[in-house]
Structure 1
Amino acid sequence: MHTRTDTNVLKTLQEIIMLNLLKLIYVFLGINMLGGGVALCTRMVTGQPFEAWVKNFLRFSLLFSSVGLILSISHTGITQLPTMLTVYLSGFAVYSWRKYGASDSWGPVVVLTTISVFCLQIVVVAAEVIGALAAHSLLGSNENHTPMGVLIGTVVLLFAFVSTISLKRIHQHPSAPVMHRAAR
Structure 2
Amino acid sequence: MISSRVHGYTHDELDQACLPRPDCSHLAHEGISALGESMRPNHASWAAKVHERLPATPSRKGGPGIRVGAVASGDAPAGGTGDPALRPLLAAWPELAAVELDGSNAARAITQVRRAGRTHVPVSLVCGVAGTASAGVRVGSLRPDEDKPWKAYAADAAATLIVEAIRLAWPTPPRRAG
TM range (shorter): 0.3 to 0.5
| Structure showing the higher strand proportion among its residues | 2
TM (normalized to structure 2)?
0.35
TM (normalized to structure 1)?
0.34
